[in-house]
Amino acid sequence: MTYVVLISGAGSGIGAATAMRFAAAGSTVVLLGRRVEALKETAVQCHERAVILPCDVTDPVAVRAAVAHVEFRYGHIDVLVSAAGTNLPARTVPELTAASWQMMLDANLTGAFHLMTACAQLVRNARGVVIAIGSTSVPRPSALGGAAYNAAKSGLSAFVRTMAQEEAAHGVRMTMLQPGEVDTPLIDKRPAPVSAERRATMLQSDDVALTIQFIASLPARAHIPEMILTPSANPFV
């Protein structure tokens, strides 16, 4: 089945892999992200099924403008994937500043709020699916991810669960997907380098993309409110 799929954070990692999977299946993918060149690289892999809309999800005006373009062109969104997010090397509590704390909340929580609320009516029009990328740091917070990242992802989980209850009346299904360690560019932002051996045990972006595709393909009578996905070799991170 083909869809109109809007993906934030589509320039790399999970967002890019998700775009490629849906495009390969014949869907139209709308790519949101801050880095134009990265979006172009993803689009090339989508074989002319991609529309690029440079957009920083932390900017509500830019988000509304991008969504207005989607509304004009398609009139609905079948699948919305909120995959934009970041972390920072200086992540222990003593290292955090007011500015870095706010940046983490904006990128990982408030940006998703801007995106989901701006897209709400278009998703309703399709009785569509919303999938937000969280982390196993929500059910199992640890110092590995850092306090600001853990707090932002936990806030995102609470927001999605609440919005899901409201949107169910409109036929919209919302899922909080909580992956464990995934070998994405975020790993490069850890305080210490991660070995190739450790990366080889992690989930790959396409593993998460395949899961997203599965969730979106379920019949309307089926709903996964939350899913935890972990590496087989280390299911507790």
Catalytic residue list: 149
Distance CA 195, CA 20 (A): 27
For the CA atoms of 226, 16, 102, 56, the dihedral, rounded to the nearest 10 degrees, stands at -120
- The Cβ-side half-sphere exposure at 118, using a 13 Å CA radius, reads 24
Q: Are 153 and 199 in contact (CB under 8 A)?
A: no
Distance CA 110, CA 223 (A): 25
Distance CA 84, CA 61 (A): 17
